[in-house]
Structure 1
Amino acid sequence: MKDITVVIGNYNYARFLREAIDSALANVPASAGSGERVRVLVIDDGSTDDSRAIIESYGDRVTPVFKENQGQSSVYNLGLSLVQTEYVLFLDSDDILYPEAIGEVLRAFESGDYAKVQFRLDVIGEDGMRTGVRVPNSTPPSDCAALLRRGWLYPSPPASGNAYRVSALRSVFPIPMSLHHRKAADFFAIYGIALTGAICALDNALGGYRVHRKAEDKRGHSVGHAGLSLGNCEDVSEVERSFPWRWQTLRHMIRTRLGEDLPEHFIDFSFEKNRLCVRLYDAPTTERWHWLIFESHRYFTSLVRNPYWSLGKKLGVLGLTLLCLIPNRQANNFALRYISNPAARFAAHGSAAARG
C-alpha cells in the first residue's frame, strides 16, 4: 500500500482554505482497492478568522489540529511528528493541488529510491486564474547533493510543490524554533532533504501557487515594485536579510544531524537577483553603474557559473542586466522586473500575475 499525508498548514487564510482542502480531498482515491491511501491533515496555527469553522465542516474527511500561533516552522515540525504514512506533502492553505497530483507523485516515488519528488506549479492569481507562468523555471539534476555541498541552492518549487519521504525528512528535522525561524520552513526541508537521497523532478505542473499580496521593497509601494517579488511572505528586501541566517541554520542542522559540513556561504541566483533589484530599482544611472562595476561580483558569479541554466538563458539574463547601464529609468525598471520575476511582464497590463 502506497500512502501519503497531505499536511495543510493554515493561518488566517479562510478565504482560500476551502479550495485548498477540496483540492487535497480530490486526490483521495474513491475506492479502498486503488492501492493508494491519501490522508489529509489540517493544522491551524492559531487563526483568528473563520478558519476553524471551515475545517470543522469537513468532519472526519480530514484530521484537524488546532494550535497556538507559532509560525510555519512549528507546523512543519508538528506535522512531521504526527504523520504515520511513508510520504508527506506540505500544502500551503492558499495553494491548490490538481486532482492527478498525488497519483503522479506516488508513481514517481515508486519508480526509484527518491528522498523527494518535486513538481512545477502554475502561478495563479487571487481569483485562482492561471497566469501562464510556472515555477520553477529550471530543472535540477537528480543528485543535487553534490552541488549543494559546493554551496549551490538547486531549483525547486515553493513549499506546495514538494513531497518527501518521511524517514528522510525526519533525519534532518526538526527545525530549531526561534523568532527568526517562524517562516520559510520549506527552505530547510527543500535543501536539507537533498543530502539524504536523490530527487525526482517532474516537469509537468501538478498544482497552483497563488500569488496574492503586493510586495513592498525599501523604495516604496508601486505596481512596479510589486512585480519584483513572486512570493507572498517576503518582499525583496526581506529575502536579502533572511537568507544568510537560514543558510547558517541549515548548516547547523546538517552538521548536528547528518555529520556533514556545508560551505560557509551559499550561491543562488534567486538571492543575488533580489540584491540587484533592491540596489538598482529606480536608482540614478550613476548609482547603477557603480554597483554593476564594483559590487556585482557575486551576482555575475551566480549567473555565469549557474550549473542549472543553458547558455542561451544565461546570455538572455546577461543582456537584461546590461540594460541597467542605459541612462533610461523606464528601461532599467523593466529589465529588473523581468529578471526578478518573469511574471512581472503581466504587470504592465495590470495582471494579477505580478502580485507578490
Structure 2
Amino acid sequence: MKSVTIAICNYNYERFLADAIDSALAQDYPDTQVLVVDDGSTDKSREIIMSYGTRVRSVMKANGGQVSAYNRALDEIDTEYVILLDADDLLYPNAVTEVMQRFNSGDYAKVQFRLDVISQDGTGTGVTVPHSDAPSDCGTLLRRGWLYPSPPASGNAYKSSALRRFFPIPETTEGRYGADFFTIYGVALVGQVASIALSLGAYRVHKSAPTDVSFANSEKNNKAPKAYAARWGALRYVARNRLNIDLPQSFHDFSHEKAIFCSEVYGAPLIDRWRWFAFDSRNYLHSIVANPFWGVAKKVGTIGLSCLCLVPYAPLSNYVVRFISNPLARRSSAAH
C-alpha cells in the first residue's frame, strides 16, 4: 500500500487546529501519516499539537510565512503522496481513499477534489469550490498563461516527487504567502492533473457573507492583483531555473481579472463604471471570451451580467458585482 502524509501548516489557528488534526487522524485509508508544521505560533497552537503525542509528527519552526512552512513540510515528508491541509480546514474520512483510487487509475502528478464551503463557526453554506473541473493536461494551457480551475490548498493531493522538482520556493520578504499558488500551478508543469467531482473536505471562509463583494480568505480585491502578479513572476523564475520552461510574461485568469473588475466598478459612480468598461476592461473580457475552461452559455451569461453594471441604478450594479464575485451571494439569491 502506498503511503500518504497529510501535512498541516499552522500559524496561530488554535481555534481550528484540533479539528483539522482530528480530521486527518480519522482517515479510513490505513497508511496515512499526519505531520504538523507550526510556523512560529504565538497562541496555544503548540500546546494543542503536543497534546497529540506520537499520533502526529510535529515540527516547530520560527515564523517565516506560508512559503517557508511549505518548504519545511516537503523537507520532512518521506511518503509518496501528500495533502497540504490548511489548519482551519477539514478532510472527510474517505478523502485519502478516494484520492488514492484516482492516483492508482493513471499517471497523475496531482489529484484535486471539491470542498464544501463552511462559515467560520463550521456551518455549511451550500457552496462548493471549484465550480469547474480541470482538464488533465493543464500544463499545455498553463504554458500559454492560463491558470486552470483548482480548489484552494486543502483540496489537492500531490505526488511528492513532482513537487520536489520545483521546490523549495525562494523565500522573500514580499513572497511569504500564497504557497499553494506554486504547488497548484507548478505541478501542472511536471505532470497531469485529475479531478474528482466529489466534496471530500471543507474549506472555511472567515469573513465573507452574501452581502460582501469578496469571497474566501485571500487578499482583498484591491490587493489581490498585485499579489497574483508577484506570484506569477516567482513561478516564472522557478519554471525557468528548475524546469527549463519559459512561461509567458503575463497570465490569464478570470478570478484575477474579476478582482480588478470588482475594485474598479463596485460602488463607483456611473461615469466611472462606463469609463472602465470603455477603456480598461479588455483583459477582463478576454478572460471570459477566450476562457478555455468555460462553455458558451457561461461566457454569454457572465458578459451579460457584467454589462448590467452599466445601468444607472447603483443598487442593481452593486448587487451584480456581488453576484459575480461571491458564490455565497449567488446561493443566497437562489434560496430566495
After superposition, what is the alpha-carbon deviation per residue over 1:76-126, rounded to whole angstroms, capped at 9, x for unaligned? 100011100000110000000001001001111111000000001111001
CA RMSD after TM alignment: 1.6
Corresponding residue of 1:290: 275
Corresponding residue of 1:70: 64
Q: 1:144 aligns with which of 122, 138, 153?
A: 138
After superposition, what is the alpha-carbon deviation per residue over 1:15-51, rounded to whole angstroms, capped at 9, x for unaligned? 001110000001154xxxxxx4110000111111111
Aligned mates of 1:59, 1:332 — CA distance in 2: 54
After superposition, what is the alpha-carbon deviation per residue over 1:265-309, rounded to whole angstroms, capped at 9, x for unaligned? 000010001000000010001100110111100000000111101
Q: 1:194 aligns with which of 188, 191, 209?
A: 188
User: Which one-letter code corresponds to 2:168 in the other structure?
Assistant: P
After superposition, what is the alpha-carbon deviation per residue over 1:126-167, rounded to whole angstroms, capped at 9, x for unaligned? 111210111111111100011001100000000000111011
**How far 1:232 sits from its partner (Å)?**
1.4
Please give the secondary structure, in 2, of the residue aligned with 1:237. coil
User: Which one-letter code corresponds to 1:25 in the other structure?
Assistant: L
**How far 1:75 sits from its partner (Å)?**
0.9
Aligned mates of 1:41, 1:148 — CA distance in 2: 31
Q: 1:103 aligns with which of 89, 97, 100?
A: 97
Q: 1:172 aligns with which of 166, 190, 201?
A: 166
Aligned mates of 2:287, 2:306 — CA distance in 1: 13
Contact 2:236 2:246 in 1 (8 A): yes
Does residue 204 of the first structure (1) align with residue 198 of the second (2)? yes
Corresponding residue of 2:259: 274
Aligned mates of 1:305, 1:28 — CA distance in 2: 42
User: Which one-letter code corresponds to 1:213 in the other structure?
Assistant: K
User: Which one-letter code corresponds to 2:204 in the other structure?
Assistant: R
User: Which one-letter code corresponds to 2:8 in the other structure?
Assistant: I
Aligned mates of 1:287, 1:62 — CA distance in 2: 54
Does residue 85 of the first structure (1) align with residue 70 of the second (2)? no
List structure 1 segments (4+ residues) > 4 angstroms apart after TM superposition.
Answer: 346-349
Corresponding residue of 1:126: 120
**How far 1:346 sits from its partner (Å)?**
5.4
Please give the secondary structure, in 2, of the residue aligned with 1:181. coil
Corresponding residue of 1:153: 147
Please give the secondary structure, in 1, of the residue aligned with 2:3. strand
- How many corresponding residue pairs? 335
Aligned mates of 1:347, 1:278 — CA distance in 2: 22
Aligned-pair identity (%): 54
Aligned mates of 1:316, 1:108 — CA distance in 2: 33
Aligned mates of 2:126, 2:110 — CA distance in 1: 26
**Gap runs ≥5 in structure 1:** 30-35, 216-222, 350-356
Please give the secondary structure, in 2, of the residue aligned with 1:179. coil
**How far 1:228 sits from its partner (Å)?**
2.2
Aligned mates of 2:50, 2:158 — CA distance in 1: 27
Corresponding residue of 1:220: none
Please give the secondary structure, in 2, of the residue aligned with 1:293. helix
TM-score (norm 1): 0.91
Contact 1:28 1:39 in 2 (8 A): no
Corresponding residue of 1:353: none
Corresponding residue of 1:265: 250
User: Which one-letter code corresponds to 1:106 in the other structure?
Assistant: M
Aligned mates of 1:243, 1:234 — CA distance in 2: 10
User: Which one-letter code corresponds to 1:308 in the other structure?
Assistant: F
Corresponding residue of 1:21: 21
Corresponding residue of 1:219: none
TM-score (norm 2): 0.97
| 86 and 347 in structure 1: CA distance in 2 versus 1, 3 angstrom threshold | same
Corresponding residue of 1:59: 53
**Gap runs ≥5 in structure 2:** none
Corresponding residue of 2:295: 310
Corresponding residue of 1:218: none
Does residue 7 of the first structure (1) align with residue 7 of the second (2)? yes
Q: Report matched runs for 1:241-252 at 5 Å.
A: 241-252=226-237
**How far 1:347 sits from its partner (Å)?**
6.6
Q: 1:327 aligns with which of 293, 307, 312?
A: 312
Does residue 238 of the first structure (1) align with residue 223 of the second (2)? yes
Aligned mates of 2:330, 2:44 — CA distance in 1: 35
**How far 1:321 sits from its partner (Å)?**
0.1
Aligned mates of 2:143, 2:165 — CA distance in 1: 17
